[in-house]
Structure 1
């Protein structure tokens, strides 16, 4: 039941095969059983059950609100949720309860979706592994898949050894783990440089980054206002389209949203791709790209070509400057956004009373981790009067060149770009944390970040399992506001590759085995 698509579970609810309350209870129970994944920061059990009861009454009266009515979802903990703690995984906001819902959250609730809780992330979404949270790192459910465990045995690791589990990617790793572990049917993430697509690729999910301006950012606690986009994580492309159909459209509270009417995002079945032109950016053969990832990328290109699509090599010449550009623009906007957390109006406040300046400094030292403080310091340096033209202004000019690269390619007749999403499959935690946050982010967002610079839509589609038995995903990029066409092609690709998702019972068996092992270990330590 928990492995069904949105359409399938909606049909089951309408036919009375399961009630909204029963479905909600199943998900809540599974969240408890898989709590060692650390996917959730807050589980809103009481509110979720109340919403489920309301949904149940609507179904009894034949007054369902739509396809999402009664379906459990989760939301990354940097979206404001009325009456539910919103922390951004930071001491600065621990205990903060917003008085309002983010627009995307409200739209989901208006359609009857059940909000199970808030998911874990890198503090203030600054990271690419979901390992820099005050609540601890998120574990990838694929760490417990049968395929991966068997590969570990072959490499002479103990089957129950858990000292080096896999990261989820970030910063929306909690949302990715929640969906991948079947605790919810869809989840919201945020995507500033790849933070939805990156964990989707490592967790075997569809991860959609919509066109900038298609979905409201109101109520999303900002990282980089000019690049932030609410993202969608699901187990299939159709589900992503259903959620996007609910979220997309103008919001008077967000002046950057599109004024024109959009949707409906109903995906036709694409049978003929012979009229498509797929571009392969040569600059994406980047240092660090695993040979296995490169092979699967070329295999996917061959698949398109074998079905009649035109596949051409293209050039995005300023790609190599994207990460450097981002590492200037991101801290600059972070410095501006984080200035609001001063200990006066909301959030953490220290007990230093020597002076206002001392209170500011102590509050921010206690409230932010090293990563956030480092970006604030860098951003303020780039924004100094004597540095502004040399850093911030030049970075903005490079950003325009990056956007122009994409525009030229799409104007040349290319419909979509096909690229890797990540350099490789999921990395073991102990290996991942050897590098600092800044270095990790620059490496892991290399294929995704420039899309945010240009404001384009992109989606990760799971393609295959690596030699380690772990998910590998590829990215499709489209021109601005081609989201429906992008998802239509993604759905075709998904049908061709038939990615093997973790079977629910298999996941549960392995999770239960680990949980029992962990309990026994804790008993022996006592």
Structure 2
């Protein structure tokens, strides 16, 4: 039951095969059973059960709100949720309870979705591993999968369980782990430079970053305003389309959202690839790309070619500058956004009271971790009057060139770009933390951040298992506002690769068993 897609579980709820309360109880039980993954910062058990009871009442009265009514979802802990603590995984915001819902949260609640909890992340979404938050790192569910354990548990370097567990990618690692471990049917993350697609790839789920402006950012605590996009994590492409349909459209509270009406859509099953042109950017065959990921990428291109699509090599010549450009712009906007955390209005406040400046300094020293403070310092350096032209303005010019590269490729007749999502599969935590946060982000966001700078839609689709039994994802990048075409291509690919589901029987089986008490909660 918990392995079902959104469409399947929605049909089961509608037909009375399961009740919203029963479904919510199962998800909450699995959240508790997988607590060791550290996917959630806050489990909203009381709120979720209250919402489930309200949903069950609507079903009984024939007043179903839509396809999401009664379905448990999770929310990255940098989206404001009224009455539920929102921390951004930082000591700075411990105890902060927003007085309003982010627009995306409200839209899901308006459709009857049930919020089971707030998921873990890198502090203020600054990272690519979900390892640098104040509440500890997130563990990848595939660390405990049958596929991985069968191939790696005998390896002498994997005998110590504390050393064997794998990272989820970041910064939306908690949301990816929540979906991958079946504790919810969909989750929202945020995507600034790949923070939805990166963990989706490492956790074997679908991760969609819509076109900038399609989904409202109101209530998303900002990292980089000009690149932040609410991201969607699901188990299949159809589910991502369903959630996008619920979230898309103009929001009067966010002036960057599109003015044109956004219409939800269902994805048809594509059979004809003859009119499709797939671009393979040669610059994405980068140093450090694992041989397994390269082989998966090549096989995917051949798959499309055999189906009748035209597969062509293309060039995005400014790709080599994109990661440096991204980090300059990211740090500059971080410095601006983090200035609001001063200990006066909300969040942590230091006891230092010698002067206003001392209060600011002590509050930020106590509330922010080294990663956040480092980016603030870098950003302020780039924005100094004597450095502004050399760093910030130059980076903006390079950003325009990167966007122009994509525009030229798409204007040449290419419909969708096919690239790797990450350099390789998930790595053990002990190996990951050998590098500093900035270096790790530079490596792990290599293939993803350019789409954010160009404002384009992109999606990760699980594609294969590595020799160690770990997910390998591939990324599709589409034209701006062409989500329908992008998702259609991604769905066709998903159907043809038949990525295997994670096997967590030891954890899932006791929770999936329906007790007599739960049966009594079902519809008559």
Is the TM-score greater than 0.5?
A: yes
Encode CA deviations 1:373-422: one digit per residue, 9 max, x unaligned: 00000000000011100100000000000000000000000000000000
The CA distance in 1 between the partners of 2:115 and 2:158, in whole Å, is: 38
Counterpart position of 1:428: 428
| SS in structure 2 of the partner of residue 289 of structure 1 | coil
Q: Is the contact made by 2:146 and 2:503 (CA closer than 8 Å) also made in structure 1?
A: no
- Measured in 1, the distance between the counterparts of 2:144 and 2:279 equals 36
**Residue by residue, what CA displacement relative to the aligned partner does 1:310-341 show, whole Å, maximum 9, x if unpaired?**
00000000001011001110010000000000
**1:197 counterpart residue number:** 197
User: In the alignment, which residue of structure 1 is the partner of 2:209?
Assistant: 209
Query: More displaced, 160-169 or 206-215?
Result: 160-169
Aligned to 1:249: 249
Contact 2:222 2:337 (8 Å CA) reproduced: yes
Is 1:263 paired with 2:281? no
Distance 1:382 1:160, change over 3 A: closer
Map 1:305-384 → 2, pairs under 5 A: 305-384=305-384
Encode CA deviations 1:84-108: one digit per residue, 9 max, x unaligned: 0000000000000000000000000
Q: How far 1:213 moved relative to its partner?
A: 0.2
5 Å-filtered alignment, 1:128-167, equals 128-156=128-156, 161-167=161-167
Q: Distance in 1 between matches of 2:143 and 2:153?
A: 13
For 1:5-154, list aligned pairs within 5 A: 5-154=5-154
Q: Distance in 2 between matches of 1:446 and 1:437?
A: 14
1:187 aligns with 2:187: yes
2: CA distance, partners of 1:127 / 1:151: 29
Tell me by how many angstroms 1:509 deviates: 6.7
SS at match of 2:164: coil
Partners of 2:287 and 2:351 lie apart in 1 by 48
Which string of whole-angstrom CA distances, capped at 9 and with x for unpartnered residues, describes residues 424-451 of structure 1? Answer: 0001000000000000000000000000
Native 8 Å contact 1:141 1:507 kept in 2: no
Q: Where do 1:209-248 residues align within 5 Å?
A: 209-248=209-248
Quote the Cα distance in structure 1 between the aligned partners of 2:275 and 2:267.
18
**Equivalents in 2 of 1:206, 1:162: separation in Å?**
27
The CA distance in 1 between the partners of 2:263 and 2:475, in whole Å, is 22
Cα distance, 1:157 vs structure 2: 5.3
Which runs of at least 4 in structure 1 moved beyond 6 Å after TM superposition? 509-512
Q: Tell me, which stretches of 5 or more residues in structure 1 are unaligned?
A: 513-526
Measure how far apart 1:147 and its partner are. Answer: 1.4
Indicate if the aligned counterparts of 2:26 and 2:511 stay in contact, CA closer than 8 A: no
- State which drifts further: 501-510 or 331-340: 501-510
Aligned CA RMSD, in angstroms, stands at: 1.4
- Aligned-partner Cα distance in 1 for 2:269–2:313: 27
Provide the rounded CA distance (Å) in 2 between the counterparts of 1:252 and 1:235.
31
Alignment map for 1:459-474 (pairs within 5 Å): 459-474=459-474
**What is the CA-CA distance between 1:507 and the residue it aligns to?**
5.0
Q: CA deviation at 1:510?
A: 12
SS in 2 for 1:28: helix
Q: Does the CA-based 8 Å contact 1:181-1:507 persist in structure 2?
A: no
Contact 1:145 1:507 in 2 (8 A): no
Query: Which sits farther off after the overlay, 496-505 or 312-321?
Result: 496-505
Other structure's SS at 2:340 match: coil
Query: Does the 8 Å CA contact 2:422/2:473 hold for their aligned counterparts?
Result: yes
Question: What's the CA shift string for 1:484-523, capped at 9, x where partnerless?
Answer: 11001100000000000113525537999xxxxxxxxxxx
Matches within 5 A, 1:478-489: 478-489=478-489
Q: Distance in 1 between matches of 2:237 and 2:507?
A: 22
Q: CA deviation at 1:164?
A: 2.5
Q: CA offset at residue 74 of structure 1?
A: 0.1
Query: How far 1:264 sits from its partner (Å)?
Result: 1.9
Q: Structure 1 CA distance, aligned partners of 2:265 and 2:134?
A: 37
Alpha-carbon shift at residue 263 of structure 1 (Å): 2.1
Partner of 1:494: 494
CA distance in 2, matches of 1:289, 1:382: 31
Q: How does 1:389-428 map to 2 (within 5 A)?
A: 389-428=389-428
Determine helix, strand or coil for the equivalent of 1:256: coil
* 1:281–1:419 contact (8 Å) kept in structure 2: yes
Aligned residues: 512
Partners of 2:511 and 2:437 lie apart in 1 by 29
CA distance in 2, matches of 1:389, 1:396: 10
Asked if 1 retains the 8 angstrom alpha-carbon contact of 2:421 and 2:474, the reply is yes
Could you tell me whether the CA contact under 8 Å between 1:249 and 1:262 is conserved in 2? yes
Aligned twin of 1:177? 177
Q: By how many angstroms is 1:269 displaced?
A: 1.1
Q: In the alignment, is the contact (CA less than 8 A) between 1:85 and 1:97 conserved in 2? A: yes
Contact 2:78 2:86 in 1 (8 A): yes
CA distance in 2: counterparts of 1:21 and 1:379, whole angstroms:
48
Specify every segment of 5 or more residues in structure 2 that has no aligned partner in the other structure, as ranges: 513-524
